[in-house]
Amino acid sequence: MLPSRSYWEEFCPKVLEQHLHHEPTRGGAMEQHKFRDWYTKTLASYENLFQAKPPSDL
């Protein structure tokens, strides 16, 4: 777990190099579908960038 102060003051500017806000999800089937789609696209982006399958723990 990353405490909120560390997230905002350390992780965002030093790792992401930008601030990343997030909101609670509304839940439900549509949200689940949206997030699975985003995850699939993330894995494809990883493979495209690194020319290798993502580690299984992702």
Q: Contact, 12 vs 19, CB < 8 A?
A: yes
Spatial separation of the C-alpha atoms in residues 34 and 19, rounded to whole Å: 22
Q: Domain range for residue 34?
A: 25-58
How many folded domains does the chain comprise? 1
What is the arithmetic mean of pLDDT over 35-58? 94
Structure tokens at 15: 């790792």
| Per-residue pLDDT at 25 | 86
CA distance 6 to 12: 9
The predicted pLDDT at position 2 comes to 67
**pLDDT tens, position by position, 2-42:** 678 888 899 999 999 999 988 888 899 999 999 999 999 99
Residues 37 and 43: beta-carbon distance below 8 Å: no
Q: Which residue has the higher pLDDT, 45 or 57?
A: 45
Q: Kindly state whether residue 34 falls inside one of the protein's structural domains.
A: yes
* Domain membership flag for residue 17: no
Instruction: Kindly tell me if the per-residue pLDDT of 47 is higher than 90.
Output: yes
pTM: 0.60
